[in-house]
Amino acid sequence: MRIHITSVFVDDQEKALRFYTDVLGFVKKHDVPVGEARWLTVVSPEAPDGTELLLEPSGHPAVGPYQTALVEDGIPAASFAVDDVPAEFDRLSGLGVRFTQQPLEMGPVTTAVLDDTCGNLIQIVHGA
């Protein structure tokens, strides 16, 4: 068994697609109309056949309180691997991305946490 798709709730799928592709650097994989929403997934250009990230509409009434509570306590909705967290922090900060946690060495890993502008905090991480 492998992880095929994981998802984040986004308040606006079009805005989310732009952020996850133009800013974070993912590429669109599937874009299928489903009623008012889209089955919209992105993948890493480094792993086009790897795990897909589904940009799921956040319309369900449970999502608002869930996202609000997570963000207030600084809890990331997802964690993405990068080669170099400080370098990625500099690159993304230059693009106007807001971080709620600066790069921080935590034992064997270095992490930082950013706002995806669609309702979520996202952690980036690299190993030692």
Q: What one-character-per-residue DSSP string does 66-127 give? A: HHHHHHHHT--SEEEE-S-HHHHHHHHHHTT--EEEEEEEETTEEEEEEE-SSS-EEEEEEE
If one asks whether residue 104 binds other proteins (CB under 8 A), the answer comes out as yes
If one asks whether residue 75 binds other proteins (CB under 8 A), the answer comes out as yes
Among 36, 49, 73, 83, binds other proteins (CB under 8 A): 73
Structure tokens at 20: 């996850």
Burial of 52 (0-12, 13-18, 19+ CB in 10 A): buried
If one asks whether residue 78 binds other proteins (CB under 8 A), the answer comes out as no
Binding segment (CB under 8 A) for other proteins, from list 19-27, 47-55, 74-82, 89-97: 74-82
Shortest distance, position 69 Cβ to other proteins, whole Å? 10
Binding segment (CB under 8 A) for other proteins, from list 18-26, 37-45, 88-96, 97-105: 97-105
CA atoms of 106 and 11, how far apart (whole Å): 31
Q: Which residue lies nearer to other proteins by CB, 49 or 72? A: 72
Q: What is the DSSP letter of 44?
A: B
Interface residues with other proteins (CB under 8 A)?
68, 71-76, 100-102, 104, 106-107, 111, 113, 115
